[in-house]
Amino acid sequence: MDDDALTIIDERTESSYDVPLLDGGALRAMDLRKIKTRSEDFGLMSYDPAFMNTASCRSAITFIDGDKGILRYRGYPIEELAEKCGFLEVAYLILFGELPTAQELDAWVRDITRHTMLHETTKKFLEGFSLQAHPMGMFISTVAALSTIYPDARNVLNPESRQLQVRRLIGKVPTIAAYTYRHSLGYPYVYPDNELSYSANFMNMLWRMVEPRYQANPVIARALDVLFILHADHEQNCSTNTMRAVGSSQADPFVCTAAAAAALSGPLHGGANEQVLKMLDEIGSKDRVPAYVDKVKAGHGKLMGFGHRVYKNYDPRARIIKQTADSVFKITGGNPKLEIALELERVALEDEYFVSRKLYPNVDFYSGIIYQAMGIPTEMFTVMFAIPRTVGWLAQWQEMIEDPEQKIARPRQIYVGHGKREFVSIEKRSSHAVAA
């Protein structure tokens, strides 16, 4: 018997089919199409709402073992990368597959740094938003607007063009993010300072006021670098799936990144970090944690920042973020929300409801507490996620474009609607209740 194949017996026809297994653990859905009862049949499909058990691609970028709580970028454990690398160094690894030499890193940093400025028309575009506009809405729209400034980005099949857009996006997303923050406060924009590191320059564009030169606190800058490393990629999550799907139509990388950021903004995905702080505010104090947990167990809402489609163990990123919090709080002073979060984690991890569902803190549970301690407003938290995840989206987009197996994403469906119906003229129609 072939270890790398399944024999499927169709009881309907008593026919048997040998279906090869890929990489030891997957079968090609298209192989199901040969299973028919009549030769003219369409053949079988797989049905998998939300892609709970469907591989959409082969990827060499990020490996996750959800049961063991393992996360590696290009084979390197996230714990080592977070401890020993800078964010742009990890960005290089994720995009190009290898850790850069010192010379390669210098050239890479220079490349990114020269793309931090925004076209002046982009600033005017941003000024059109109301002061109350949510930063994520401004970020998504402005990233998409970049496609109107760089029409050459449509040459997605040209490797040199792709490399130029990758550098433009990684260089500009912190600038756009900072501009959305400054706009919401009515403050003047701060132009990039290309003498500063990626994270320190982001702090400069967020917080510089009238001083001639911004002095970034090195502990905060390092904490931001670590947070950016932890958020850079996470294999086929909802927003990355969006990046790949939109990119599969050969749309330009700016509108693809905007689409991915739109997916990230949902409260079940990257928007959770903002919801965690709102949840901690609602709980209000440590002694009210048990009552809140009971409410969730009764089916009223979710513990935001808990649970994960893949991790059925502690999210390794949450553990590192918790450690990073200590270094930040030594500078900023503690965050009272941390006490509530730690109590919520303690209670939940001892409660059968969460234990039986393998619900652990995920990357979003502690990140907002650090951002808040840094002085970043809650509405900016998902933008903070989108900045580093732009690297992962672009790496996955490139891998998709270069994958000979990939083509435009177009799933099938199981049709459950009406069969053919005779047309009814308007005077003969009866009213019917429509869903509110």
Residues marked active site are found at: 269, 308, 364
Window 166-185: residues binding ligand SDX (CB under 6 A): none
Q: Which of 243, 246, 304, 386 binds ligand SDX (CB under 6 A)?
A: 304
Q: Which is nearer to ligand SDX, 304 or 328 (CB)?
A: 304
Q: If DSSP codes are grouped into helix, strand and coil, which group holds residue 351?
A: coil
Give the total residue count for the chain.
436
Residue 302 as a binder of ligand SDX (CB under 6 A): the answer is yes
* CA proximity to 247, closest of 257, 238, 261, 237: 257
* Site pattern 372..411 for ligand SDX (x: CB under 6 A): ----------------------------------------
Stretch that binds ligand SDX, among 97-105, 296-304, 337-345, 411-419 (CB under 6 A): 296-304
Q: Which is nearer to ligand SDX, 190 or 304 (CB)?
A: 304
Q: Which is nearer to ligand SDX, 94 or 205 (CB)?
A: 94
Residue type, 84: K
- The Cα-based distances of 250 to 34, 72, 153, 260, 396 in angstroms read 30, 29, 10, 15, 14
Determine whether 36 is exposed, middle or buried from the number of CB atoms within 10 Å of its CB (0-12, 13-18, 19+).
Answer: middle
Report the C-alpha gap between 35 and 276 in whole angstroms.
47
Residue 268 as a binder of ligand SDX (CB under 6 A): the answer is yes
Residue 17 sits at φ, ψ, to 5 deg, of -130, 130
Token representation of residue 160: 């040199």
Q: Which is nearer to ligand SDX, 272 or 341 (CB)?
A: 272
Minimum separation from the CB atom of position 306 to ligand SDX (A):
4
* Site pattern 180..219 for ligand SDX (x: CB under 6 A): ----------------------------------------
Q: Which of 71, 95, 146, 303 binds ligand SDX (CB under 6 A)?
A: 303
Residue 306 as a binder of ligand SDX (CB under 6 A): the answer is yes
Q: Which of 296, 318, 380, 383 binds ligand SDX (CB under 6 A)?
A: 296
Residue 357 as a binder of ligand SDX (CB under 6 A): the answer is yes
Determine whether 239 is exposed, middle or buried from the number of CB atoms within 10 Å of its CB (0-12, 13-18, 19+).
Answer: buried
Q: Which is nearer to ligand SDX, 168 or 234 (CB)?
A: 234
- The Cα-based distances of 86 to 48, 152, 224, 391 in angstroms read 39, 30, 10, 14
Minimum separation from the CB atom of position 63 to ligand SDX (A):
12
Q: Which is nearer to ligand SDX, 134 or 389 (CB)?
A: 389
Residue 234 as a binder of ligand SDX (CB under 6 A): the answer is yes
Minimum separation from the CB atom of position 51 to ligand SDX (A):
11
Minimum separation from the CB atom of position 8 to ligand SDX (A):
28
Could you say which DSSP state residue 364 is in?
Answer: H
Count of residues that bind ligand SDX according to CB under 6 A:
21
Report the C-alpha gap between 310 and 67 in whole angstroms.
8
Q: Which of 61, 203, 251, 363 binds ligand SDX (CB under 6 A)?
A: 363
Stretch that binds ligand SDX, among 80-88, 195-203, 266-274, 412-420 (CB under 6 A): 266-274
DSSP H or E stretch at residue 20: strand 15-22
Report the C-alpha gap between 4 and 24 in whole angstroms.
6
Q: What is the dihedral of CA 292, 297, 303, 307, to 10 degrees?
A: 160
Token representation of residue 34: 């040969």
Q: Which is nearer to ligand SDX, 306 or 371 (CB)?
A: 306
Minimum separation from the CB atom of position 83 to ligand SDX (A):
19
Minimum separation from the CB atom of position 174 to ligand SDX (A):
19
Residue type, 310: V
Contacts (Cβ under 8 Å, ≥6 apart) of 207: 214, 375
Q: Which is nearer to ligand SDX, 115 or 231 (CB)?
A: 231
DSSP H or E stretch at residue 290: helix 289-297
243 and 261 Cβ atoms separated by less than 8 Å: no
Residue 307 as a binder of ligand SDX (CB under 6 A): the answer is yes
* Site pattern 308..337 for ligand SDX (x: CB under 6 A): xxx---------------------------
Residue 92 sits at φ, ψ, to 5 deg, of -60, -45
399 and 61 Cβ atoms separated by less than 8 Å: yes
Residue 237 as a binder of ligand SDX (CB under 6 A): the answer is yes
CA angle in degrees (0–180, nearest 5) for 41-3-11? 35
Residue 364 as a binder of ligand SDX (CB under 6 A): the answer is yes
Report the interface residues with ligand SDX, using CB under 6 A. 234, 237, 268-270, 272, 296, 302-310, 357, 359, 362-364
